[in-house]
Copies of this chain bind each other. A is one copy, B any other.
């Protein structure tokens, strides 16, 4: 059974969605996305731990509270375990069980899922004592370098669904097009829907005066 670790910040998440969602909605939406991810890791048979910046609970996972930055928290956590670990971001609700199975069945020492724009949306590390994470910026390249310096083989996993982290208004389009979990249902409950203008696909929200 592989351990899945999901870092999560319950308070004031997803600030770049402020143009569409109010603070309370952003918090709820972040939990819905996390819930979609937890269902997938659990569904793939992983034991799932949330590393949260504060007290938090969600069905299907344990929570460890660590009031540290993302890298500091993850690296401290990695230093304390002795088993293969899958780190996965909480904002990729399109992830499927098949995606998770594909990563954790890699024959390499590590498997990395790049996010759009140079990020890392998930990383599987067979031996955490030989690896440390470095998120932010071009973390995809950084993680490739860290693995290479440690002499670890890496498989890069090619998946659109997992490369799609939800940060900005435009990203919500992907949930409405390809999602089928709680985060999609929550968006729809808020009256958010697809809108096509001049051939470009965006979103609009019923309750607002004008299209967002």
Residues of chain A touching chain B, judged by Cβ–Cβ distance below 8 Å, are 96, 99, 114, 116-119, 136-138, 140-141, 158-164, 170, 173-174, 177-178, 194, 196, 199-201
- Is the contact region of chain A dominated by helix, strand, or loop, or is it mixed? mixed
Q: Is the CB of B158 within 8 A of A114?
A: no
Within the complex, which residue of B136, B159, B196, B200 is in contact with A160, where a contact is CB–CB below 8 Å? B159
User: In the complex, how many angstroms separate the beta carbon of A79 from the nearest chain B beta carbon?
Assistant: 24
- Name the residue of chain B whose CB is nearest to the CB of A195: B138
- Name the residue of chain B whose CB is nearest to the CB of A159: B158
Chain B residue numbers with a CB within 8 Å of A160 are: 114, 116, 158-160, 162-163
* 9 tightest Cβ-Cβ pairs between the two chains A and B: A118-B201, A160-B163, A137-B196, A136-B199, A160-B160, A158-B159, A158-B161, A117-B201, A158-B160
Complex Cα spacing A188 to B164, Å: 26
User: In the complex, how many angstroms separate the beta carbon of A159 from the nearest chain B beta carbon?
Assistant: 5
Residue with the greatest number of chain B CB neighbours at <10 A, chosen from A117, A119, A136, A173 = A117
Complex Cα spacing A75 to B60, Å: 49
Complex Cα spacing A163 to B141, Å: 20
Beyond the given A114-B178, A140-B177, could you list 19 further A-B residue pairs with CB under 8 A, ordered by the A residue number? A96-B158, A99-B158, A114-B160, A116-B164, A117-B170, A117-B173, A117-B200, A118-B173, A118-B194, A118-B196, A136-B199, A137-B196, A137-B199, A137-B201, A138-B196, A158-B160, A159-B159, A159-B160, A160-B163
